[in-house]
Each structure stands twice: as C-alpha cells, then as structure tokens.
Amino acid sequence: DTEVTQTPKHLVMGMTNKKSLKCEQHMGHRAMYWYKQKAKKPPELMFVYSYEKLSINESVPSRFSPECPNSSLLNLHLHALQPEDSALYLCASSQAPGSAQETQYFGPGTRLLVL
Amino acid sequence: QKEVEQNSGPLSVPEGAIASLNCTYSDRGSQSFFWYRQYSGKSPELIMFIYSNGDKEDGRFTAQLNKASQYVSLLIRDSQPSDSATYLCAVNIGGFKTIFGAGTRLFVKA
C-alpha cells in the first residue's frame, strides 16, 4: 500500500481566511513533504519533516505554517494568503529520511484557489 | 544551482511505437533518479526509480542511467493512448531534496 491521502481535494479561500490542509499516510514512512505546483511547472519543495521534526524550510513565506502532530499526519496551516498562492499543494512521504535511495510517494493533492 | 533538464515536448508517437524520454542533470553527486507520470490535474505517480548505471526494466518501461554523462532516460514500449501524460524526471541530490525537471508532455496517437 503506497497511499497518501490529502484533504480537502479543493479549497477556495479569501485573503483574510485561515484554513488548513491535511495529509495522512499509514505506510510507516518517517519523512513527509509539502510541495507547491503551479500549472505546467514542476513541483517545488516547501517543507520536509523527518521523524516529526522540521528538517527543511525552503524560505517559504510565514503565511504558510507546517505542523507534524505525529508520524502519520502532516498539516499545512494557511493564513492571509495572496492570489499568487493559488496552486496544487502536494503532500509526499518517503520511508528512509536522508537516504540516497529514498522514494517519494505523492498524495492526490489539494487544489487551492485564493480570491 | 542544481538543475534537471527535460525537453518540454510535446513528444508525439503513434500507438504501439516506442516513446523515448530524456533527462540530464547537473549535480554529479546525485545518486537516485526517478520517473513520475502526471496526468493533467492529477498528482505525480511513480513509474520507475533507478540507482545504478545501466538499464532497469519494469513491464513496458525501461529506465536507463549513465552517471558519467549525467543522463537518464525512460523508454515506453508499445505506447498506448493511456500513456499520454507529462513525464517528470526527478533527481535526489541528497539532504532530503529531490529536484524535478519541468516535464515532457507525451501524446500517443491512436
């Protein structure tokens, strides 16, 4: 089973709203990732959690706030977003954090529209 | 800056033909390489991974890696219309980081 789930599938929010994206995996993976993907562009890494600790923050604006409550869950809290933040937000997980052979498996994504 | 380069396409092949997708990367220390398929509006789906020089086959898919030339390719045999998608080459450069190419759009004509 290589399933990563994400909720919601779609989200429309205003620039003053606060919302959260959720990601869950039950594969025992110890690394989880948030990516942002704009249309016709490759995924861009935002954050990496390894063993529930934040390992990488790719200079993401503070209006995006990640949280890893436990080894199976990953959240992305959104506040005061801008229209240019509209994108597909992808969660991924991998089994062996930091391994040269780590393989990432993606969830279905949350399509976010900021009005 | 570490980069992964792909021809954006579109690459158009007739049904039943072999589709050849290519990728080059700049970080000579990269150790693992991945091909993802992404249908429009969907998330990337892992097709193949390869770590060692040479060929790796899985069904209709063959990944080829040449670390000396910093080149990785994906061959799709007996291409089907359902293979029409964007194929992303991804390279693990270490430290949890995987860099994605911009993707090659493949069209398989029935």
> Each residue of A55-106: pLDDT tens digit?
988 889 999 999 999 999 999 999 999 999 999 999 999 987 767 668 899 9
End-to-end Cα separation, chain A, in angstroms = 37
- The kind and range of the H/E element at B90 are strand B85-94
d(CA A42, CA A90): 11
Of A18-32, A90-104, B25-39, B84-98, the poorest mean pLDDT is in A90-104
Residue among B46, B62, B60 nearest B98 (CA): B46
Contacts of A49 in chain B (CB under 8 A): none
Q: Identify the residue whose tokens are 């990785």.
A: B72
HSE-CB for B67 with a 13 A CA cutoff: 13
CA distance B16 to chain A (A): 27
Q: What is the DSSP string of B8-26?
A: ---EEEETTSPEEEEEEES
> Each residue of B37-68: pLDDT tens digit?
999 999 999 999 999 999 999 999 999 999 99
3-state DSSP assignment of residue B32: strand
Asked if A101 lies within 8 A of B88 by C-beta distance, the reply is no
Asked if A108 lies within 8 A of B102 by C-beta distance, the reply is no
d(CA B106, CA B104): 6
